[in-house]
Structure 1
């Protein structure tokens, strides 16, 4: 028996956005040119105001002809249009804009647009800045991934943008929940007590890739000696703020490219880099599964006016995290769930991070930090508290009904997919952390595992919390939360293919030996398209489909006897209350 879920009417389902994005979405929301820091006709307000929540409202007012132009012109246009803003529609105080446009890369092609907004004056609600990066979060049904990711960097006191939620009204019509991401610029440097005149750059080699003169995606994989005028070359390739010291950057790139991984690299790395910050940056990205970060989703900073200063790394762009990423033939608007993102930097040609991971001294430091962060800082309790805090805070904003005539004139709804499944889909964040941590521990050798698709754990009177049955590759077969230990002992779970099953084509076997324990059992199945996970065990290549009808059943080799189980197909799990004793087999079937 599955949990009750709200089903949206057919008329509303027709609004669901189904267009796929490119297989590799750079998701780059900051496409401004390199720069030195510078210096109507309104509709009636909606009766359906959003009440009683701790999210700041923003009321954007534009001439209707400008709104029409904004949404009908080429989405890649960076020409700014006029408007003004209020924090309260009944307030006389008007906040003047210096123009706005859409922002993002392929994100501009989504129904719900993100905005780049300039104000004439600095604003307190923007952490004292006059720039606003208002992200739509259309690809994130939880609408929490970015906010939690940025909170993690703040927890480590790492120089990084801050994030804040806003309800956006355009000409008094509610157009959804958004999150503002602080701009990486001199204001951010000042807020972190860093020299505002320092070198602040972002690699855009990927954006200049042509397969010929530029045949790599990262400047750290490029032989800079190929360029005649190296400072000019880097100025063309990198985005930047202010006046960078191109000679320092040239030296950094040349050293990384020419120095092999190993002791020499480690020694120089510790001389040139803020090692702890780089390790933390890498660790957080591995924890949240952000595989895009190693391409161009970061900035580099150096206080070149201080001869003793070291390079810092500043993170950017956290919309594809906690299991959210592109899938072949589906793009990023998909409901597939996976957590087995590899513990490497992928195919980004980024020798800086590749060689860090290939240098034993630095890799050992990273592994130690991962264990420390998982155990002491970013615990499951940490994420659970964040999850419930933000879910309570934004729930009413997320769940505004698109059929309400006072909402969503310019796009269908807050995020892609079914609003009625919000609790199930947002639960993916917590499930991701649980399973991701097991995967990481297995990959760095922090778990005593014994084989692929088999795992043995001991449950006794001292067992506290859930027990994860994780194989030697980091795949979690099952989780057991004991409530009563009648007899302690070793329990083994294993998985075998079984194409006879109408549902998940696997048999899950448990051998409890002499043990007898009562509690809650969760069994996981794979449902992905081969990347990053190990494929799909469900009978079809669909993310959800008929999986709501799946049930966990006892299996005697020919007959499946259904059990009273609950399912969340967004995280590929079924749960029952049971007793583990002797030998049993389970299947997941319709």
Structure 2
């Protein structure tokens, strides 16, 4: 008889040892040392223990695991040890317990840094998508289970069918129970989203306000009718259900109900939708579309889905089955702001906001945090006027004001309840609610959330993370050995653990590494230690943020005696309406030692996209290398090895990018380009003779972001603007860069520019943007005033910079005249503006023979 998984047993790893953390009992594992002798690779003909099943990509953030199966009674498992295929890992001994014939034991596979589970056995190595687990008996290899990419995808396991003896195959996970062959109704599917899907999951309701069934709306988004019977759907659990045998006309909707009930006269699939869940759509084994949502996005009375219909952009909606989707207003009563880490040990509080035009009786509502030991608390019997705020303290004792008898945790949640249903919800992590800050809606009554400046009882205020009025200081505390290793191996660009303190917030588990291309190599070859840095705030703590930042950059002013080139370039781009990273000057300290004046720059990632685009679901790319010129190579994305996908890495098939470069080569290029973003970007880049960009020889230092197949251009890394970069350019004076053929190399070889500039209306708009710059921020008076203002801000900090690449006198000189090969800023701009005016008026040529400025 097969027993259930030994879930009561506990396995903990100490050095190279597996043992129980539950005290002495029949479940206590062995405390014998792991043998240090080299295991033999000789495999006996038979053994009593087999590697039966593994999960290498658990759902919901769960742990990987390994299941072992006993073919015979085993008095003491500690004669066995296991290890993955990482050569640096040591085989880890199994617990000193017995296992009877037909019994299973399940062992979690976690990182050594992870918190050990208190109720499960574990080993300190994780399982990869292409990996192997080897089992040893008295240091002799007796079994191995080896799998490759695709064998053990998320939601599936890999192991033996039948238990202990069969052939290894992909299965549904059955930890501690008999392995099950996949049924005909369950397919092993890939994780590729089809960019050109004609059928989309358009809208879901996970909690109907009329106590009806959950539902899923499908939309025929293409130009053709779609036969639904060819498709399958699943929720997060992964079991697949067929759709009805009907044909859906192009541009129309179809609703299917999600319920496990037997229902007549309604199309149904056999699962319900959770408050946090995912629906996937398959065509045979191909994942066609996917829609996921989190707590608070699909509450009762709301739906969640695509806006506009069939697009990638997602939002909370007004339920509209079989009709066009409509955006929903948050409310009427919302949890607007909260403080869970008050300074000076003050009281926690939360703020409610009436986001409607009618008064609200608060006592109709209840509220509760994540506590399980208290009931929801009814709010005070007061009337909250439209557009008004009320503050409720969360304390143990009556503070003499409105309050609830519970405190807010550092990792917690609040649920607002009416008539037994959650009508609003907010959750947070410790880094969201650092002392001195609040957390809540970025705009009163909106949907987006962030860390805030406390504004008790008044409109919410975002913190000034990138403060341009003063030079802030940022502090890193790092182990001296780690810091020295970072410096000694700077070229490796590997992360090292550090703590960071900024604007009164300290986070202990943060990652720092060097960054750069030629600048990194140049500093590494020199005696300087003034590297640029990437800071990853959530590398070690998932979801951790510093004032809303998951990542940020510290740039070292390489090749810029003025300290102003990148700062001014970003300012001009921002003023021209380009989605631009925020930026500010900071003094950087490492272990209380000043390392210099740096430029703090916002990272271009999901948080950046959410600030600038209503559609946050698109593909973000950072091109640098093969394919970064955006010329057509083939329909195989791997051939574009220098184009790196930065978002949707696990779901995108890169089809939008392939369509993009294909359309520029063979089709309607303007239909896949956000032309205005290119024109605005190019106006600034060309005005600053910035060839260290897409239109230069390296075709790098930019991002492209896709929204429903249309790509926008985003700026990055502008320290060599103002004519500082001329690698490979044969022309004597880069200040005379052609405005209409501003490329190093043939204009046609930079199709993103060539296709946009080929349209006469676009070229006229581009010229208008150049004139806007020339007549505005680049006039001699305005530009000189900007230089003086920045100098007033940073001058004393430059003078005190202990690692500066240039002297303070060179800093002052370069504001106006040349230092080394670097043009003075005001003299450069005066010359460049005069030259552009001549090109715009036709006095001198604005383009050449098509070979680009540097080759004409």
Relative to the length of structure 1, the TM-score reads 0.55
Counterpart for residue 64 of structure 2: none
Whether 1:79 aligns to 2:79 is no
Check 1:443–1:54 CA distance in 2 against 1; reply closer, same or farther (3 A cut).
Answer: same
The question of whether the paired residues in 2 share the 8 Å contact of 1:150 and 1:161 is answered with: yes
Whether 1:414 aligns to 2:804 is yes
The question of whether the paired residues in 2 share the 8 Å contact of 1:298 and 1:313 is answered with: yes
Alignment partner of 1:69: what SS? helix
Distance 2:813 2:581 in 1: 29
How does 1:201-220 map onto structure 2 within 5 Å?
A: 201-204=621-624, 206=625, 208=626, 218-220=628-630
Equivalent of 2:644, from 217, 231, 238?
238
Distance 1:244 1:440 in 2: 42
1:147, distance to aligned residue in structure 2 (A): 0.9
1:177, distance to aligned residue in structure 2 (A): 0.4
Counterpart for residue 663 of structure 2: 255
Distance 1:238 1:95 in 2: 29
How does 1:222-371 map onto structure 2 within 5 Å?
A: 222-224=632-634, 227=635, 230-234=636-640, 237-242=643-648, 243-244=651-652, 246-258=654-666, 268-294=668-694, 295-304=699-708, 310-326=710-726, 339-343=735-739, 344-347=742-745, 349-371=749-771
Alignment partner of 1:220: what SS? coil
Equivalent of 2:837, from 441, 444, 450?
441
Alignment partner of 1:431: what SS? helix
1:244, distance to aligned residue in structure 2 (A): 4.1
Check 1:421–1:76 CA distance in 2 against 1; reply closer, same or farther (3 A cut).
Answer: closer
Check 1:235–1:106 CA distance in 2 against 1; reply closer, same or farther (3 A cut).
Answer: closer
Alignment partner of 2:630: what SS? helix
1:269, distance to aligned residue in structure 2 (A): 4.6
Bigger share in helix: 1
Equivalent of 2:619, from 186, 199, 222?
199
Counterpart for residue 605 of structure 2: 185
The question of whether the paired residues in 2 share the 8 Å contact of 1:190 and 1:196 is answered with: yes
Whether 1:115 aligns to 2:513 is no
Counterpart for residue 62 of structure 1: 478
The question of whether the paired residues in 2 share the 8 Å contact of 1:115 and 1:133 is answered with: yes
Whether 1:100 aligns to 2:512 is yes
1:398, distance to aligned residue in structure 2 (A): 0.8
The question of whether the paired residues in 1 share the 8 Å contact of 2:839 and 2:845 is answered with: yes
Equivalent of 1:163, from 583, 592, 597?
583
Distance 2:632 2:687 in 1: 28
Alignment partner of 2:736: what SS? coil
The question of whether the paired residues in 2 share the 8 Å contact of 1:82 and 1:99 is answered with: yes
Check 1:202–1:422 CA distance in 2 against 1; reply closer, same or farther (3 A cut).
Answer: closer
Deviations 1:267-295 (A, max 9, x none): x4543332222211111111111112221
Alignment partner of 1:311: what SS? strand
Check 1:355–1:386 CA distance in 2 against 1; reply closer, same or farther (3 A cut).
Answer: same
Distance 1:328 1:350 in 2: 16
Alignment partner of 2:600: what SS? strand
The question of whether the paired residues in 1 share the 8 Å contact of 2:670 and 2:756 is answered with: no
1:317, distance to aligned residue in structure 2 (A): 1.5
Deviations 1:141-198 (A, max 9, x none): 1101111111112212321211111101111111110001211111001111432211
How does 1:505-516 map onto structure 2 within 5 Å?
A: none
Check 1:240–1:234 CA distance in 2 against 1; reply closer, same or farther (3 A cut).
Answer: farther
The question of whether the paired residues in 2 share the 8 Å contact of 1:138 and 1:414 is answered with: no
Q: How many residues align?
A: 353
Counterpart for residue 524 of structure 1: none
Distance 1:282 1:327 in 2: 19
1:122, distance to aligned residue in structure 2 (A): 1.5
Distance 1:315 1:244 in 2: 23
Alignment partner of 1:299: what SS? strand
The question of whether the paired residues in 1 share the 8 Å contact of 2:690 and 2:721 is answered with: yes
1:340, distance to aligned residue in structure 2 (A): 2.2
Distance 1:103 1:172 in 2: 22
Distance 2:855 2:631 in 1: 27
The question of whether the paired residues in 2 share the 8 Å contact of 1:199 and 1:245 is answered with: no
1:381, distance to aligned residue in structure 2 (A): 3.6
The question of whether the paired residues in 1 share the 8 Å contact of 2:726 and 2:734 is answered with: no
Distance 2:733 2:560 in 1: 13
Relative to the length of structure 2, the TM-score reads 0.38
Alignment partner of 1:190: what SS? helix
Deviations 1:18-45 (A, max 9, x none): xxxxxxxxxxxxxxxxxxxxx9xxxxxx
Deviations 1:399-440 (A, max 9, x none): 126xxxxxx4xxxx222x333232211221122111111111
Alignment partner of 1:373: what SS? helix
Check 1:419–1:350 CA distance in 2 against 1; reply closer, same or farther (3 A cut).
Answer: same
Distance 2:501 2:680 in 1: 39
Distance 2:710 2:631 in 1: 21
The question of whether the paired residues in 1 share the 8 Å contact of 2:633 and 2:639 is answered with: no
The question of whether the paired residues in 2 share the 8 Å contact of 1:380 and 1:434 is answered with: yes
The question of whether the paired residues in 1 share the 8 Å contact of 2:743 and 2:854 is answered with: no
The question of whether the paired residues in 1 share the 8 Å contact of 2:777 and 2:783 is answered with: no
Distance 2:642 2:736 in 1: 36
Deviations 1:199-244 (A, max 9, x none): 212333x2x4xxxxxxxx54532342xx5xx245458743322244
How does 1:137-148 map onto structure 2 within 5 Å?
A: 137-148=557-568
Alignment partner of 2:814: what SS? helix
Higher RCO (Cα < 8 Å, 6 or more apart): 1
Distance 1:303 1:232 in 2: 22
The question of whether the paired residues in 2 share the 8 Å contact of 1:256 and 1:351 is answered with: yes
Alignment partner of 1:129: what SS? coil
The question of whether the paired residues in 2 share the 8 Å contact of 1:198 and 1:301 is answered with: yes
Structure showing greater Rg: 2
Alignment partner of 1:391: what SS? helix
Distance 1:254 1:186 in 2: 26
Counterpart for residue 389 of structure 1: 789
